[in-house]
Amino acid sequence: MLALMKRLTNSVFGKLVVMVIVVGMAFFGVDTIVSQIRGGLGANLAQAGSRGFDATDLDRRVETVLRNMNATSEKPVTKTEALENGMIDQIFESESARINILGYGASLGLKPSTEAILAQTRSIEAFQNPLTGELDGTILRQRLQQLGFTLNEFEEQVGDDLTIATMQVAATSAVSAPKVFSDLQVEYFGEARNVSWFLYDPLKNSPPADPTAEEVKAYYDANLEKLKQPERRGVDVLRMSAEDFLGEVDVTDQEVATIYEATKSERFSDPDQRTYAELTFDNRDAAREAFGLLAGGGDPSTVRGALSNQLKTARAAEVADETLRDAMFGAGKQSGAMFGPREVGGRWVVARLISVQPGPVKPLEEVAEIIRGELGGERAQLVFTAKMERLDEVLAAGYDLEQIATDLKLPVFSLLPVDASGTTEKGQRIGLLNEAPEALAQAFRLGQGELTSRFDTPTAIFVASTREIVPPSTPAFEEISDDVKAYLVAEKASSAALEAVNSMTDRLDAAELTFEAAATSVGEPIETLPAAMTRSTANQAGIPGPIQQAMFSTPLGKAVNLPTGTPNVFVVLKVDSVERPSPESVAGIAQEISTAISNTLGQDLAQALQAEIAATLKVRTNKGSLETYKRTIAEPQ
């Protein structure tokens, strides 16, 4: 046989066959298989010690993450979108870190017992029988099937979670904050201070003199660059939304009436009232027995042994217990719906829905315009979708903005020249540009007449083009002399006020002036806190952050000044007292602080453990196989 193969490969035909086989192997990914064998990873994408995961494991994890995200997201994320935004790589790194810990645990012989896995499974409420509260094998299998897990895969997942939890607990369970750390924090958070302050307006009685014309001109000449106006651009904007096409759709009275008849009971009626029997028992067994009787159609009045047996009629908003409300008033709940047994306040509650009394329905005339508007909006959205496709076509064809607007039958908004922030020379901001700041930013990067990309927002689509470019320049002195004068006056006032308040605080610190005399000299009363405050109570009292910072950073007896929200008005503040925490306050916060420090140290130790594991046990990865998996997502199947 070997001799036959050797003779075959020596022939021209045989060499051709070998070449075809080699090319075929390369085409079907045998190079990837060879690289896996050489790396010792087999089919795994990543491996640490004896633990690893393959493409199937990664895909299951991706599906789980996306399912959990999309359950609460208004806009579901597809697997393709997850690949494009880098989420697949993030999940791969997360799973690699996970097997790193599991591989290290396996090297130590750490493995949860069957009893531990079973106890954990029993504690999961989603797998419990609602009547008995015990683990239900049928429910477990149904839930796992919904999640795409086999029983063995689920048991392995639970075991892995227990392993990781055990290692984290082992690293942090014996951590206790050193007393020296706790004492420092107690002193810091328990320290109480009181302060006094008064307001000071240095320019109140002596505003700065108006500058002369020569001073204004000199200020202008010295600040030409500072006074320069930025580049501005006149931008044309096309804005397209579904509302633009409401005039192109029709909604007939018959359509409105049809929708009204089909949805009036759900949408246009007042909340219904429901009558249900609610029974309470002192033990679960009695409640379970009553539940079986009622579920089988038994008369609630015949149930024996109930602590209370009430027939209640209410609207949903009147039922305080959320679980009971969902059971009696939830979507699709009809007569005969059951609730319980459920423990509430030490009693076991069972309920059965007896009847539903619909609320009064609003007349058609009252809601017709609501229906017309909704249906018109839906049809306008369809037109909008078609226009979006047409917009892409004309953009690809090279139409200018006016041609696009004509084709789509939309207006073009020609805006005044604005700077890169969307502000005109007069300081006005244009609201239309606030809707799509990315379009304005791109318009500033493009040349005159060039179209921006299409920018989509939640409510509209924007395309813009620069109509004109106003280069940066400093206006002539005659045009802005009044503004220049105002700048100079404000600058002088600010300098004079700052110099005056700094001089006052310097004199206070040098004991040349008492705090009381300083307040009297400016005609302001001295205010003080009603009592000394800690950092916590100062924050709770709503004391502004800068005042708090000054309170607890300024030495006892020293004065500081702080700006207020009013120009050239300051707070002059002095620390009157610094009180160490009392024994009572220490007792109240010491345990809380010690626990917080212990938790922080525990987190640091957990991070150190992860770093040590990563250094001790390297994760080997197969990037080629990962890229192959990504291609299965990116390429159409």
Q: How far is CA 430 from the centre of its chain?
A: 29
Identity of the amino acid at 553: S
Whether 70 and 161 map to the same domain: the answer is: yes
Whether 80 and 147 map to the same domain: the answer is: yes
- How many domains does the chain fold into? 5
Which of 470, 504, 528 lies at the terminal end of a domain, its last residue? 470
Statement: residue 125 has pLDDT above 70: yes
Q: What is 483-505 written as a DSSP string?
A: HHHHHHHHHHHHHHHHHHHHHHH
Tokens, residue 283: 């033990």
How large is the average pLDDT for residues 451-461?
Answer: 92
Dihedral in degrees, nearest 10, Cα atoms 536, 538, 544, 548:
-80
pLDDT for the residue 447: 94
Whether 489 and 570 map to the same domain: the answer is: yes
Whether 499 and 353 map to the same domain: the answer is: no
What domain range includes position 282?
270-360
Q: Specify if 370 maps to a domain.
A: no
Whether 72 and 168 map to the same domain: the answer is: yes
Give the CATH number of the domain where residue 407 resides. 3.10.50
Enumerate the β-bridge partners of residue 344.
347
Q: How far is CA 485 from the centre of its chain?
A: 47
Whether 48 and 135 map to the same domain: the answer is: yes
Strands 347-357 and 273-281: antiparallel
Rounded CA separation 468/418 (Å)? 10
Statement: residue 139 has pLDDT above 50: yes
Which of 28-37, 145-154, 372-381, 622-631 has the lowest average pLDDT?
28-37
The band of 253, judged by pLDDT with boundaries at 50, 70 and 90, is: very high
Dihedral in degrees, nearest 10, Cα atoms 233, 238, 242, 247:
130
Q: Which helix (H) or strand (E) holds 468?
A: strand 461-470
Q: Specify if 498 maps to a domain.
A: yes
- With contact defined as beta carbons under 8 Å apart, do 610 and 101 qualify? yes
Which has the higher per-residue pLDDT, 23 or 548? 548
Q: Specify if 368 maps to a domain.
A: no
Tokens 């106890």 correspond to 119
Q: Specify if 257 maps to a domain.
A: no
Statement: residue 373 has pLDDT above 80: yes
In terms of Cβ atoms closer than 10 Å to its own Cβ (0-12, 13-18, 19+), residue 277 is buried
Give the model confidence (pLDDT) of 405-431 as tens digits: 999 999 999 999 999 999 998 889 998
pLDDT for the residue 1: 39
The band of 36, judged by pLDDT with boundaries at 50, 70 and 90, is: very low
Long-range contacts, 262-269 (Cβ 8 Å, 24+): 264/361, 264/362, 265/358, 265/361, 267/367, 268/361, 268/362, 268/366, 268/367, 269/358, 269/359, 269/360, 269/361, 269/362
Whether 145 and 220 map to the same domain: the answer is: no
Q: Specify if 55 maps to a domain.
A: yes
How large is the average pLDDT for residues 535-545?
Answer: 89
In terms of Cβ atoms closer than 10 Å to its own Cβ (0-12, 13-18, 19+), residue 245 is buried
Q: Within 10 A of 210 (CB to CB), how many other CB atoms are there? A: 12
Per DSSP, 42 falls in state T
Whether 384 and 507 map to the same domain: the answer is: no
Give the model confidence (pLDDT) of 382-398 as tens digits: 999 999 999 999 999 99
Statement: residue 34 has pLDDT above 70: no
CB hemisphere CA count around 394 (13 angstroms)? 18
Rounded CA separation 209/216 (Å)? 13
How large is the average pLDDT for residues 347-372?
Answer: 92
Whether 13 and 44 map to the same domain: the answer is: no
pLDDT for the residue 309: 93
Contacts of 390 (CB under 8 A, 6+ apart): 407, 408
How large is the average pLDDT for residues 256-261?
Answer: 92
Q: Within 10 A of 116 (CB to CB), how many other CB atoms are there? A: 15
Statement: residue 27 has pLDDT above 70: no
- Total-model pTM: 0.52
Rounded CA separation 54/45 (Å)? 5
Which of 579, 612, 629 lies at the terminal end of a domain, its last residue? 579
pLDDT for the residue 488: 93
pLDDT for the residue 209: 84
Statement: residue 194 has pLDDT above 90: yes
pLDDT for the residue 40: 58
Rounded CA separation 618/636 (Å)? 35
Q: Specify if 219 maps to a domain.
A: yes
The band of 42, judged by pLDDT with boundaries at 50, 70 and 90, is: confident
The band of 529, judged by pLDDT with boundaries at 50, 70 and 90, is: very high
Q: Specify if 528 maps to a domain.
A: yes
The band of 592, judged by pLDDT with boundaries at 50, 70 and 90, is: confident
Residues above pLDDT 70, as percent of the chain: 93
End-to-end CA distance of the chain: 41
- With contact defined as beta carbons under 8 Å apart, do 199 and 569 qualify? yes
Contacts of 536 (CB under 8 A, 6+ apart): 189
pLDDT for the residue 636: 55
Whether 44 and 136 map to the same domain: the answer is: yes
Q: Specify if 183 maps to a domain.
A: no
pLDDT for the residue 41: 67
Whether 282 and 345 map to the same domain: the answer is: yes
Which of 532, 547, 579 lies at the terminal end of a domain, its last residue? 579
Which has the higher per-residue pLDDT, 340 or 584? 340
Give the CATH number of the domain where residue 587 resides. 1.10.4030.10
Whether 49 and 165 map to the same domain: the answer is: yes
Tokens, residue 124: 């999961």
Residue whose C-alpha is closest to residue 451's, from 391, 407, 408, 409: 391
